[in-house]
Structure 1
């Protein structure tokens, strides 16, 4: 796949500021970026213009590595969980959302098989494990679990006030040293606490979460992925924003559009190659292709598309409000003004022209 702006338009944009290097980062979860990178599409697209494309994981500079969370690196494209992206914007990082993706995943409340808990209402006055990871600018694992717990309790007519939240503390490794949620230890401490009777229920997600349930013999009380209303499935992974710093979006929309056009092309490829997609997802999350298929659904390969639809915008705003309400971010901001639709519109034009 190749996308190139018309020469006159390209020349006009290039007068703004020249770019010789771009950075990217994505979470180890199903993303259009992961598909495009695995296929070499992003590398090939920007190599035509002599622009290097680098992963922040490849840098030895911790200030570069931490940009995955604080988005402090100019020229950085990020597709991943919305919690760090929302936190960075709340902290004043001048980023813009240029696209949103939505790939549903296993999101479950787990209990012990012998617990006697058979419905959500049985969680009243019970202990629910909540991860507490020190050493992070934003504890995305805690925020993610709390959102999943809160959403699940509401479906049972309960609230967070009806249960006892019990901290399960761990030390989070640095981003550069960690494989993130793909590592086999994700959810391990919470499931240990559950099996040892220290808590009565925990929240898990994705292929690692499904692996935890199956591997440790835990019972699924509820899978939020089964809920028909997409807003009930909102969490760190739904929707996932594609963000870039505002200066790059404003002064080099051609580069941002080319990046997005590659992701759109990768999503189109994915829709026609399910076996290849689940192999790529499995590698991303550290699981087999079959486990990836079970955790993200038989039709996950059809859901890599990028858009800025109203439901995805609502989901992003809902997540921001939740994080603000529970103290994960300290400053409010307007989600609509955070979104810049121009690069995605230009990306579709580039694909139409190519």
Structure 2
């Protein structure tokens, strides 16, 4: 039972906020279709993008989740970090889209397989201005996963810092191509490092553009635990006070995502187009990076397997000093909004009728 009174639960809310990472998210699809705007317009609530705010300190809520009434779907590292630093958030859903996660080297390199990384220089991006350097954590996880499959570890390689620019937090446009891995690729091309980690559609584009050699694609490894990283699984989070005070709005948000993922299952090309714009990668790269069944893999869930994977990654971040404190993953996750959203979908056709109108 909520600790808030019924009056407090029905407190007037005139605006809510959203943000998502430049990756395949069901939120990104719902936003492109205008369905989340419709969902909250019924409640006379404006649904606003965090990434159009000019004040960078406000946009930083994408990482630190300080803005009230914020829904976020994206990489789990910033979400885990925010919770570990005391932000009172809740996980209301998870998604898992396996993606291209590659260790790359130069085409004429003698490195052909993970075993050949022994004693090599591996580039770790370093964004010193970032609140949480998720790109560094992501690359380190990728390298250590690649080493683990051949019985190597961090003591068998040499990590080299690669200075990279702080990431921008703007709405994507068709004219902007992702430059997320440029610093690492440049270091590789200059011979300063022997291998780098990339992922997603931008990673595919860079691999093709420079003719780079794939040492291993972790995203296609048969063991899901090897594939665990910032994007697998992705977290859907919201401020805890909104869950407590207005669980109805949280359920409506999730119900909209459920309906959107159902729509995606029969709209392959539309999904590729939207994800291409979201990621800054070409459509061919989207298909290669996320597979031919991307449109069927966007359904949020809270499976025990995915929750276990999230805990595994939290433990990794704690071990390597990316988060300052431990916390209970199970206590971070709330099941009620998910169940309520499923009930909304099951008991009423108004969701489908409203969104498709």
**TM-score, normalised with respect to structure 1:** 0.93
Specify the alignment match of 2:183 in structure 1. Answer: 189
Determine whether 1:330 maps to 2:346.
no
Alignment of 1:135-150 (within 5 A): 135-150=129-144
Alignment of 1:114-129 (within 5 A): 114-129=108-123
Specify the alignment match of 2:84 in structure 1. Answer: 90
Contact 1:13 1:252 in 2 (8 A): no
Determine whether 1:202 maps to 2:204.
no
Q: Residues 107-147 of structure 1: CA distance to partner in whole angstroms, max 9, x if unpaired?
A: 00011121111221111111111101121100011011001
Q: Residues 212-232 of structure 1: CA distance to partner in whole angstroms, max 9, x if unpaired?
A: 111011100100111112111
Structure 2 gap ranges (5+): 349-357
Determine whether 1:232 maps to 2:209.
no
Identify if the C-alpha distance between structure 1 residues 13 and 274 changes in structure 2 by more than 3 Å, giving closer, same or farther: farther
Identify if the C-alpha distance between structure 1 residues 177 and 285 changes in structure 2 by more than 3 Å, giving closer, same or farther: closer
Whole-Å separation in 1 of the counterparts to 2:26 and 2:285: 19
Describe the SS at the equivalent of 1:134: coil
Describe the SS at the equivalent of 2:232: coil
Describe the SS at the equivalent of 1:243: strand
Whole-Å separation in 1 of the counterparts to 2:110 and 2:283: 33
Specify the alignment match of 1:7 in structure 2. Answer: none
Structure 1 gap ranges (5+): 1-10
Contact 2:233 2:306 in 1 (8 A): yes
Specify the alignment match of 2:353 in structure 1. Answer: none
- Post-superposition shift, 1:49? 1.4
Specify the alignment match of 1:220 in structure 2. Answer: 214
Determine whether 1:320 maps to 2:305.
no
- Post-superposition shift, 1:287? 2.2
Whole-Å separation in 2 of the counterparts to 1:264 and 1:108: 30
Contact 1:128 1:163 in 2 (8 A): yes
Specify the alignment match of 1:63 in structure 2. Answer: 57
What is the aligned-residue RMSD (CA, Å)?
A: 1.7
Q: Residues 214-271 of structure 1: CA distance to partner in whole angstroms, max 9, x if unpaired?
A: 1011100100111112111110101111000111011211000000000011100001
Describe the SS at the equivalent of 2:127: strand
Whole-Å separation in 1 of the counterparts to 2:301 and 2:8: 26
Determine whether 1:270 maps to 2:233.
no
